[in-house]
Amino acid sequence: MFDLIRANRRRSVALVGGFVLFLVVVGAAVGFLTGFGWMGTVVALVISAVIAFTSYWKADAIALRVSRAEPADPVQYQRLHNLVEGLCIASGLPKPGVYIVNDPAPNAFATGRDPRHAAIAVTTGLLEKMNRVELEGVLAHELSHIRNYDILVSTLAVTLVGGIAILTDTAIRLMWWNGGRVARDGDRDNGNNPLAYIGFALLIFAPILAKAMQATISRQRETLADVSACQMTRYPPGLISALEKLRDDSTVTHSASTATAHMWIEQPMAGVGDGGRLGRTHRMFDTHPPLEERIALLREL
């Protein structure tokens, strides 16, 4: 398992590098296609660099704010704080910030850039529907993400996916409003330039590719976090029971968004388990492995 954790860290560096490189390529395409020449490309790349820098330092705060998470009062949520402290002592981790999300759906996520700058958020629905052992399993899963440094990649993905979406949307709007009515340097050439077609395709498919990368980031890490959580608690039935409750609960997590979906312990968005015509398409962008697969693996431990 420790070999997997080390491999996970190496993949994390590669994925972050790939995400930033992809953001730079999209930024270059924006400058080229909007007709602002090299100056537009430089501006787009500067914006990309600012997004990447902000992602590293502030993405955890952004993720918590987007999810409407509030600090958990130590008195009102004493049981939650006690469980987190106990697991941290047992695993040698510093205690992360503990947050509450006012949402009836049972769910939880971890965010941050490293174990010393991390936070765990749980919904009020999770606290209501899980007993102590099940809640401990869920918290151990989230602490495993922190210990395995999954949170850095997951948190960066929130702002990087958003940055790609903003850049592509801005470029398409600029091209739409220009519409060929105002000639800019390179406008006439772009019509016959093969690079223009590549750029258009990139702008159209960039958000889709970003979502696919986001899904890959999460799916690779959920199973390892499940196994790490069982090692932390030394009681697999606790997490198994929690995942079974999550499987049987159909409540949509309204505090989640497409940008933060990969961070939660369970896929929070609608369309999960869809067996209709679009079921296969939905599964392509699932940010988590099926709960049945995760439960079956834990039962083999």
Q: Catalytic: 136?
A: no
pLDDT (0 to 100) of residue 77: 97
How large is the average pLDDT for residues 77-93? 96
Catalytic residue among 136, 142, 222, 266: 142
Q: What share of the chain has pLDDT > 70, as a percent?
A: 61
Report yes or no: 176 and 126 within 8 Å, Cβ to Cβ.
Answer: no
Higher pLDDT, 159 or 129: 129
Residues of the chain with CATH 3.30.2010.10: 66-151+216-299
Q: Where are the alpha helices (DSSP H) in 148-193?
A: 150-178, 187-192
Start-to-end Cα distance in the chain: 13
Higher pLDDT, 243 or 11: 243
- Alpha-carbon distance 154 to 160, whole Å? 10
Please state, rounded to an integer, the average pLDDT across all residues of the chain. Answer: 78
Give the model's confidence band at 268: pLDDT under 50 very low, under 70 low, under 90 confident, else very high: confident
pLDDT of 99 > 60? The answer is yes
Give the model's confidence band at 241: pLDDT under 50 very low, under 70 low, under 90 confident, else very high: very high
pLDDT (0 to 100) of residue 181: 41
For the domain covering 66-151+216-299, report its CATH number. 3.30.2010.10
